[in-house]
Chain A
Amino acid sequence: DSGVTQTPKHLITATGQRVTLRCSPRSGDLSVYWYQQSLDQGLQFLIQYYNGEERAKGNILERFSAQQFPDLHSELNLSSLELGDSALYFCASSVTTGYLYNEQFFGPGTRLTVL
């Protein structure tokens, strides 16, 4: 158990819909990262928040957005869903920013299926 929790575990929805994925980081971790794992693309970095502020963007679509709340939990919002958005979405957290000695701990993921 990494200490990172994600809800829900599974989500099935239809094209065109909007969903929200939730992540609670490990206690004390200020950074939250979102990743998408699809069959053809592998694990891709989407976005990072640090202490409530957006810190970095990766391959995140404009239809997707995220935020980190004062209690440090984070939500990833996916809208106008397409079949290709079906994937595993992982949240990770780390103590601070920077990559040296700042291990990212991953949650178990949310499996999104778009029908």
Chain B
Amino acid sequence: DQQVKQNSPSLSVQEGRISILNCDYTNSMFDYFLWYKKYPAEGPTFLISISSIKDKNEDGRFTVFLNKSAKHLSLHIVPSQPGDSAVYFCAAPGGGADGLTFGKGTHLIIQP
């Protein structure tokens, strides 16, 4: 049973435009969410997080929005840059203590 779902395996966006990556979760006990970014041949790198007491968290070009009633979160990247091309994972603690439960990832491709 997949508790964190990323339904878009890939997303293509033009450079300079907004990238919106989506994530849904099923476990209402989740109270903290993270986004990780992964380049080929590297491990995932933490990008941004949000606690369930907030509905928005911003860090530079990256903003995460949380809609608890819909059990949905999204990551907005504005403006998108070529270096943003990577796989993005949505995650939540809940795999057992501090272990993270990850979605399957969305491959973001920024086109020039």
Contact = CB atoms under 8 A, between A and B. Distances in A.
Contact of B96 (A4, A56, A97, A107): A56
Interface residues on A, range: 20 to 34
Interface residues of B, number: 23
Interface in A97-115: 97-100, 102-109
Nearest to A1: B42
B98 A102 contact: yes
Interface string B78-112: 00000000000101010111111111110000000
Given A42-B103, A42-B104, A42-B105, A103 B46 contact: yes
B96 A48 contact: yes
A76 to B, nearest CB: 14
A14 interface: no
A76 B97 CA distance: 19
A35 B105 CA distance: 15
The secondary-structure label for the interface of chain A is strand
Contacts of A45: 95-96, 99-101
Contact of B102 (A43, A100, A107): A43
Contact of A44 (B51, B93, B95, B97): B95
Interface of A: 2, 4, 31, 33, 35, 42-48, 55-59, 90, 92, 94, 97-100, 102-109
24 contacts: A4-B43, A33-B98, A33-B100, A35-B100, A42-B104, A42-B105, A43-B89, A43-B102, A44-B95, A44-B102, A47-B99, A48-B96, A48-B98, A48-B99, A58-B95, A99-B93, A99-B100, A100-B32, A102-B98, A103-B46, A104-B98, A105-B46, A106-B45, A108-B43
| A-B pairs, 7 with minimum CB distance | A106-B43, A56-B97, A45-B99, A45-B95, A99-B93, A43-B102, A42-B104
Given A99-B32, A100-B32, A2 B98 contact: no
B21 to A, nearest CB: 15
A46 B96 CA distance: 9
